[in-house]
Amino acid sequence: MRRPAAFWLDDLLAELRFDVAVLPGDQITVRQDRRAFTAIGAVSGQALVEFPKPTINLIEALGLVGGLAPQSGYPSSVFVLREEPPERLQQLAGSAFTGLQQAIYAFDLTQPSGLFFGGRFNIGDGDILYAAEALYTQFQKALSAITGVATPVTGISNAI
């Protein structure tokens, strides 16, 4: 008896190892690609975003949600949260792990190296993209809660 296998159509077309013979009694199920990531925090559009193509990187993912929020986004604190299999973490950290582990990847997009790495870092199905708010945004919120002023304190944000 043959065992079940799953793979992407793009992989089937690109790699010979996925080109398997279909025998009588085999069942083929074709499903729509429903991979998605969630963008939260100081992004222009918080949303659950379906992948528009087979792979997307961090920079493309930010583009899909409109980038960082102009008044509150903090480009030196962009994070990707995901569950990683133990083999992957062992590759990265060199320590032994068992079971899925929660991992956080941090990016500083104010540095060229952060932008280049973000362009090579692929977003996975179920990832959470989190952009932190700038420190002055937190100060503005606290100040408006105390004083009742809802308008931005531009002198402070410009000074920072």
pTM of the predicted model, to two decimals? 0.68
Domain holding 121, by residue range, is 37-132
Please give the structure tokens belonging to residue 63: 């583009």
- SS3 annotation, the chain: CCCCCCCCHHHHHHCHHHCCCCCCCCCCCCCCCCCEEEEEECECCCEEEECCCCCCEHHHHHHHCCCECCCCEEEEEEEEEEEECHHHHHHHHCCCCCCCEEEEEEECCCCHHHHHHHHHCECCCCCEEEEEECHHHHHHHHHHHHHCCCCCCHHHHHHC
| Residue 41, in any domain of the structure | yes
Assign residue 49 the CATH number of its domain.
3.10.560.10
| Residue 147, in any domain of the structure | no
| Residue 140, in any domain of the structure | no
Q: What is the mean pLDDT of residues 147-158?
A: 51
| Residue 124, in any domain of the structure | yes
| Residue 48, in any domain of the structure | yes
Residues contacting 136, CB < 8 A, separation 6+: 153, 156, 157, 160
Number of domains in the chain: 1
Q: Note the pLDDT tens digit of each residue in 87-96.
A: 777 776 766 6
Q: Output the pLDDT for position 21.
A: 82
Q: Note the pLDDT tens digit of each residue in 92-125.
A: 676 666 777 888 999 999 999 999 999 999 999 9
